[in-house]
Amino acid sequence: DAKTTQPNSMESNEEEPVHLPCNHSTISGTDYIHWYRQLPSQGPEYVIHGLTSNVNNRMASLAIAEDRKSSTLILHRATLRDAAVYYCAGLQNYGGSQGNLIFGKGTKLSVKP
Amino acid sequence: GAVVSQHPSRVICKSGTSVKIECRSLDFQATTMFWYRQFPKQSLMLMATSNEGSKATYEQGVEKDKFLINHASLTLSTLTVTSAHPEDSSFYICSASPWVDNEKLFFGSGTQLSVL
């Protein structure tokens, strides 16, 4: 079961890095860890995903613990547009079939100017 | 990038009526689409997995006769809330992906359903 646990809320100052943690101690060995973010009244937006190795893309970095029981989403320089609810989600792998995302409760990130 | 279009974005209906929500993959084919429901200040809860050409798979506690899902083509899945009641008022979101195996999902913009 890819259940995830995140802090309810976090605050950051603009232009500073933000580290958003997620615990997923029950994740299986083949479940990918995904991060999405959601603005009010909108659908979630993909941020990043990974399995074991750390990942980087233009939006963020994902640091995955060696035991895979936790991960951290890193926004290198927070902007006001990064204020959103960030969801850590496990993607259940159905062995070649499309898996579904199991969302945690998310972290509401506030960014102060 | 892949685009998932969801329509309508907002609907208000009377109790007892049925409402249909459409989810389209605009630039890719999706054999599988997912339907989520989100109550205010809560996370997304998976309702069902929609499979093209076959019956949908519903999560535990979701009434299949109330939430009818039709995935008649590789680019369209519909969710019909039958005999809607005020407790069905929620934000409904669909998602799909052009890939299989752990790749990112693309989400529609959601449908806010208000049942009076």
From the list B34, B46, B105, the residue facing A46 with the nearest CB is B105
Enter the DSSP assignment of A1.
-
Nearest CB among A43, A46, A102 relative to B109 is that of A43
> What is residue B101's predicted lDDT score, i.e. its pLDDT?
59
**More confidently predicted of A47 and A98:** A47
Q: Residue B2: its pLDDT value, please? A: 79
User: From the centroid of its chain, how far is CA B104?
Assistant: 17
Angle (CA) B14-B15-B17 rounded to 5° is 75
Cβ-Cβ contacts under 8 Å, A43 against chain B: 4, 6, 93, 95, 107-110
The residue assigned the tokens 């049942």 is: B115
Question: What is the overall mean pLDDT for chain A?
Answer: 89
Query: How far A96 CA lies from chain B's nearest CA (Å)?
Result: 5
pLDDT in tens, B44-82: 999 999 988 888 999 999 999 999 999 989 999 999 999
Coil/strand/helix, residue B71: strand
In DSSP terms, A6 is beta-bridged to none
E strand map for A15-105: 18-23, 32-38, 45-50, 55-56, 61-64, 70-75, 84-91, 101-103
Closest CA to B92 of A8, A89, A41: A41
Residue B6 predicted with pLDDT over 60? yes
Give the chain A residue nearest B1 (alpha carbons).
Answer: A46
The answer, yes or no, to whether residue A48 has pLDDT greater than 90, is: yes
- Using DSSP, state whether B88 is helix, strand or coil: helix
* CA separation for the pair A71, A83 (Å, rounded): 20
In whole angstroms, give the CA distance from residue A71 to residue A93.
Answer: 18
**A94: Cβ–Cβ under 8 A, 6 or more apart, which residues?**
none
Cα(A37)–Cα(A107) distance, integer angstroms: 9
pLDDT of residue B46: 92
CB contact under 8 A, B91 and A41: yes
A1 Cα to chain B: minimum distance (Å): 14
Q: How many other CB atoms are found less than 10 A from the CB of residue B55? A: 12
